[in-house]
Amino acid sequence: MRLAVWVSVRAGIFVGLFSLGAAHAAIWPDFDTVRVQHRASEVRVLAYDGQLVQRVRHDYTKRQGDWVPLARISIALQHAVIRSEDQRFYEHAGVDWQAIAAAAWITLTRQPSRGASTLSMQLVALLDADLRRKASGRSLAEKFDQAMAARELEQTWTKAQILEAYLNRVAFRGELVGVDALARVMFQKQPSGLNAREAALAAVLLRGPNAPAMLLTQRSCALLREMGRAHECRGLHDFVMVALGRTAAPRHGAPGLAPHFSRLVLAQAGVQAGASPDGALHTSLDRDLQKFTLQSVNQHIRLLDRSGVTDAAVLVLDNRSGAVRAYVGSSGLLSAAAEVDHARALRQAGSTLKPFLYAMALGEQRLTAASLLNDSPLGLEGGGGLYVPQNYDKRYSGWVSVRTALASSLNIPAIRTLMMVRPDALAQRLIQSGLPLAHSGDYYGFSLALGSADVTLLSLTNAYRTLARGGRYATVRFGAQDQDDQAGEQIYTPQAAWVIGDILSDRQARARTFGLDSPLSTPFWSAVKTGTSKDMRDNWSLGWSQDYTVGVWVGNSAGASMRDVSGVSGAGPIWHDVMVYLHRTRRSVQMPEPEGLSYARVSYAKGLEPARMEVFIGDTAQADFSPFDAEGGQGGLQIAEPVDGTILALDPDIPVSHQRMRLRAIDISARTAALAHWYLDGEPYAQAGQVDWQPVAGQHIIELRDESGIVLDRVKIQVRGSHGYGAG
């Protein structure tokens, strides 16, 4: 009797306080304001047309999903939550007096309590931090404040709005907050698809978010019995264990098309900056193109598996606006480092820097597209010794035009061109083109012509876009609003950029190395350049059409060498796929010629190259080209072996009489000469295109002379004795 009186007095005091305090209740924001201000812990990254491409988490304090309208929340879940948390939800006005009285009695009798907080009372605590339960519990006054706030809320919100807001804001287990996160993570389905068993488990989680599996099983089964679904208790514990094991699983239904791009854009924009009122980040990406690019990468990396290739990156830029249309940072599950953004990783450039070198030489009118360059053995003195560059196929083509040298990616002509331009000047121009060179040109030396510098696919693709835009550099853009044309800064002359594009689109000119039919050929106008770094660690293919620039990198994140992979077989097929997809419904034609170009018919001495029409810049046009015009009148035979500056050590374990050095002369077409006059240290030695010589310790001068004794070519070599030292 005394307990009952105490309960009545306590409840009466609470009602009195509630009546007095109601007039002082705060005014709550309307439902629409709360809904609009809701922010998920993941930012939705959208393509330019509003399609979802990725979700990127930015809030690691909780894992809160999107706001889900009540109409898209499972009826089974709604019923289970009301049954478990607030059975008279539709009858009270925010406070359930019967539940309060029952809770007070249960507290006095020390029985297990289910609490007396209604859904409305719980919701106001979720919306107002001052009303939340503290670690020490709630005092009577704090409980009163919560009840008063709930009553005020019910005067302005409907029951449906309260239930919807509650299900979107309540914590379920661990870091899962809201029905969207709960359904898509723990149950791997949409909130509308939750069944009775899933709904029961979700409802009892509200009472004990971190309760052990056995207790959750017991509570779920009890709730299912109350709901008339007792048969769902069979096998329930196994179901609970599986569900709890997925609390950190990836989100169901997230497309995951552009993780690296999304993280990059989010980092640049910030969580709030650049985000639209709907909480999403609108970008320049083309969702369909992104999907196709991912498929192409997956297909070709699988085909290259036996060649030791695991990673790839692809970038597609709009030439006019600079907008990123596709961005693949890795090969995903096929990659050994899927989280690494290979589009922004520094890799050795290989031959991809040659177009910028030749653009400089053409723009400065040091060369024309028809000028001859000597593709023959070359030895250069460097700080670490003799630098002897070679072509990719380790063969030499003799005298070739600039058009052939660039289109066929010959190395020695590029070195000779850099000797004219100078490494430091090229390095400065590459930096102006946006490439992140870490050192001056003097550091790289002449190897810069062959791409010894480290670059990123992102910067390199945009540098190629500079050539596609007539030599005008502009930055890459990521936002959906970035659709207007960019002006940019003139880095290369329009004439030189146009000629480079004309060369890189010339199938005939690249046939010497790549053949007429390869992945570099497209059924529309396009210009393309491949590259392979030292030891086949990196493989590139970059090029442009009228509207787009596409860059592809293929390799391994750890830098391991590939086997028998070139630009044509590695990155080339992906580049071709993407280019063809981009132009499946649109044409691509060569850009109009800028002013300052002219055409002339050119011919070459001794049939070095077929006669053709060639394009010239300014007043550089001429009709006839021969090797004698190319290098101050020197021509004829040259020494291919040995290279000038060679140091040879005799092997002490092999008899000297059995050791030989080969002397080989080549003609202007880099073929072994039929006849040559060799002189050794000023004395006649032999008459043959190729001959062996038994080395003798010391320093020697080897010469080629014509029949009249005029020196055609000369090299100096040193032969060290069996102990490593030469005489004198």
The CATH number of the domain where 180 resides is what?
Answer: 1.10.3810.10
In angstroms, the CA 475 to CA 4 distance is 78
Identify whether the C-beta of residue 487 lies closer than 8 Å to the C-beta of residue 475: no
- Asked if residue 302 belongs to a domain, the reply is no
Q: Say if CB 213 and CB 241 are below 8 A apart.
A: yes
Report how far residue 87's alpha carbon sits from residue 71's, in angstroms, rounded to the nearest whole number. Answer: 20
In a domain, 312, yes or no: no
Query: What does the pLDDT look like over 124-147, one tens digit per residue?
Result: 989 988 777 766 566 677 778 888
Residues 574 and 514 occupy one common structural domain? yes
Does residue 568 form part of some domain? yes
Report the half-sphere exposure of 432 (CA within 13 A, side-chain side).
17
Whether the Cβ atoms of residue 544 and residue 552 lie closer than 8 Å to each other:
no
For residues 435-458, average pLDDT? 93
Do residue 538 and residue 654 come from a single domain? no
Q: Are 252 and 14 in contact (CB under 8 A)?
A: no
For all residues of the chain together, what is the average pLDDT? 86
Q: What is the pLDDT of residue 280?
A: 86
Question: 690 and 545, same structural domain?
Answer: no
How far is the C-alpha of 313 from the C-alpha of 460, rounded, in Å?
12
Residue with tokens 């050590």: 649
Sign of CA dihedral 598, 599, 600, 603: positive
Residue 687's pLDDT band, with cuts at 50, 70 and 90, is: very high
Joined together, the tokens standing for residue 205 give 């989680």
Q: Are residues 150 and 273 in the same domain?
A: no
- Residue 698 lies in domain: 638-720
Residue 695's nearest CA partner among 651, 661, 645 is: 661
CA proximity to 40, closest of 148, 196, 185, 159: 185
* Domain annotation covers residue 631: no
Q: Is the confidence at residue 22, as pLDDT, over 50?
A: no
In this structure, the answer to whether residues 195 and 154 fall within a common structural domain is: yes
The count of domains in the chain is 4
Beta bridge mates, 243: none
Query: Would you say 652 and 720 are in contact if contact means Cβ atoms under 8 Å apart?
Result: no
Q: For residue 630, tell me if it sits in a domain.
A: no
Extract the tokens encoding 29: 């924001």
Q: Is residue 248 within 8 Å of residue 281, measured between CB atoms?
A: no
CATH value at residue 461: 3.40.710.10
Name the CA dihedral angle for 348, 351, 353, 357, rounded to a multiple of 10 degrees: 140
- Domain match, 71 and 49 both: no
pLDDT at 116 (0 to 100): 67
Count of other CB atoms within 10 angstroms of residue 595: 7
59 and 101 within one domain:
no
Reported as type and span, the H/E element at residue 26 is none
Q: Which residue has the higher pLDDT, 269 or 695?
A: 695
CA distance 256 to 270: 20
Q: What band does 25 get if pLDDT is binned at 50, 70 and 90?
A: very low
| 3-class state of residue 435 by DSSP | coil
Q: How far apart are CA 91 and CA 97, in angstroms?
A: 11
Whether residue 100 is predicted with pLDDT greater than 70 in this model: the reply is no
142 and 209 inside one domain: yes
Contact 343, 553 (CB under 8 A): yes
Q: What angle do CA 663, 666, 672 make, to 5 degrees?
A: 80
Q: In this predicted structure, what is the pLDDT of residue 8? A: 47
Rounded Cα distance, 261 and 458, in Å: 11
| Cα 254–Cα 255–Cα 258 angle in degrees, nearest 5 | 120
* Segment of 216-230, 246-260, 368-382 carrying the highest mean pLDDT: 216-230
- Give a yes or no: residue 460 inside a domain: yes
| Residue finishing a domain among 596, 625, 654 | 625
pLDDT of residue 568: 67
* Cα distance between residue 392 and residue 405, in whole Å: 13
The SS3 assignment for 445 reads helix
Token pair for 267: 């980092």
227's tokens: 């709901």
> Pick from 625, 650, 674: which residue ends a domain?
625
426 and 412 in a single domain? The answer is yes
Q: Which helix (H) or strand (E) holds 299?
A: helix 287-303
DSSP lists the bridge partners of residue 387 as 380
Burial of 380 (0-12, 13-18, 19+ CB in 10 A): middle
Between CA 696 and CA 719 the distance in angstroms is 6
Say whether both 331 and 428 belong to one domain: yes
| pLDDT, tens digit (0-9, with 9 covering 90-100), for 36-67 | 889 898 899 999 999 999 999 888 899 999 99
Same-domain pairing of 670 and 551: no
Does 611 reside within a domain? yes
Strand order in the sheet with 171-173: 63-64, 176-177, 171-173
Is 479 within the bounds of a domain?
A: yes
Q: Which residues pair with 325 in a beta bridge?
A: none
What was the pLDDT predicted at 384?
A: 55
pLDDT 10s digits, 152-189: 999 999 999 999 999 999 999 999 999 999 999 999 99
Radius of gyration of the chain (CA): 38
46-82 core/surface letters (b: 16 or more CB in 10 A; e: else): bbbeeeebbbbebeeeebbbbbbebeebbebbbebbb
Same domain, yes or no, for 384 and 432? yes
pLDDT over 90 (residue 274): no
| pLDDT of 495 strictly over 50 | yes
